[in-house]
Amino acid sequence: MTSGNCRLCGQKTMLSFEHVPPRTTFNRNTKYSSVAFEEYVKTENPLKNPPKGKIKQGGVGYNSFCKQCNSFLGSEYVPAYKRWVKGGFEILQNKEFELHTYSIKEIEPQKILKQIVSMFLAINGEWYLKSYPELSEFVANKDSKILPDRFKVFSYLTRAENIRYMHHVVLGNFATGNPINCSEIAYPPYGYVLTIDSGNKIQYLNNITEFKNLNKRMDLNINMFQLSTYMPFPLDYRTKEQVEKGIEEGIQTIRKNEKKQ
Ligand SMILES: [Zn+2]
């Protein structure tokens, strides 16, 4: 336990370890290495020679919620979230890029969305709660449908070749010229992107913000892309081949520039 402000109720208290995603959704014994973004940028070919991070065990998580909020999430949303995860695993294939069309029976979309938003609260710092209190209000009030329009949540299926926990960043978007304000989590079988003040669409991703209005148990028909997450950059879903090609071209450009000098 560490001391700090709970990302859900805001209270300054001892914070318990919150698994992201929940421990019971196959995040119990995860052994993972966390590599700083800067280390990747320094490495010439991160696919062939991945930078070695510090190895951690016992599941991915953060000290972000007080004990009370932690158990609130566990009892209110985690059971619904588990069902959603189970459905995703049944669909996931050993492929890099694929559109899946399927239906999941008897899921509770609003609870699933609240769990997902709580995961974004967990991975981001205390400033997040202060800047965007609407997010924690949506999660803390189990009957609330109110998630203002400026917040959008997107999802995709993924094996998460590399798990992705990207804090909130502002990204330039070359296609539209408008920057995207986002945070991203990828852990099998799903990836999620939370955007703030950005558009309604992101290529290949499902906008699941409407889940906020679906507060009942229902069957849902879904079209969802399975995407790859090789590199630690938000919104980068290139296949291994595309990443390798990009790296090779990058190296050649550097060599050419060296020759010129
Ligand atoms: Zn709390």
pLDDT tens per residue, range 48-104 = 676 666 667 778 888 999 999 999 999 999 999 999 999 999 999 998 999 999 999
Return the pLDDT at 33. Answer: 62
Write out pLDDT tens, residues 136-157.
999 999 999 999 999 999 999 9
Say how far apart CA 76 and CA 112 lie, in whole Å: 10
For range 209-214, the mean pLDDT: 98
This prediction has a pTM of 0.89
Return the pLDDT at 185. Answer: 95
Burial class (CB in 10 A: 0-12, 13-18, 19+), 19: buried
Return the pLDDT at 176. Answer: 65
Q: Cα(132) to centroid of ligand 1, in Å?
A: 16
Q: Cα(69) to centroid of ligand 1, in Å?
A: 4
Average model confidence (pLDDT) across the chain: 89
Q: Cα(167) to centroid of ligand 1, in Å?
A: 20
Return the pLDDT at 51. Answer: 66
Q: Cα(5) to centroid of ligand 1, in Å?
A: 8
Return the pLDDT at 247. Answer: 82
Q: Cα(185) to centroid of ligand 1, in Å?
A: 22
Q: Cα(205) to centroid of ligand 1, in Å?
A: 31
Q: Cα(216) to centroid of ligand 1, in Å?
A: 26
Residues lining ion ligand 1 (Cβ < 5 A) are: 6, 8-9, 66, 69
Q: Cα(172) to centroid of ligand 1, in Å?
A: 34
Q: Cα(145) to centroid of ligand 1, in Å?
A: 20
Q: Cα(68) to centroid of ligand 1, in Å?
A: 6
40 or 187: which leads in pLDDT:
187
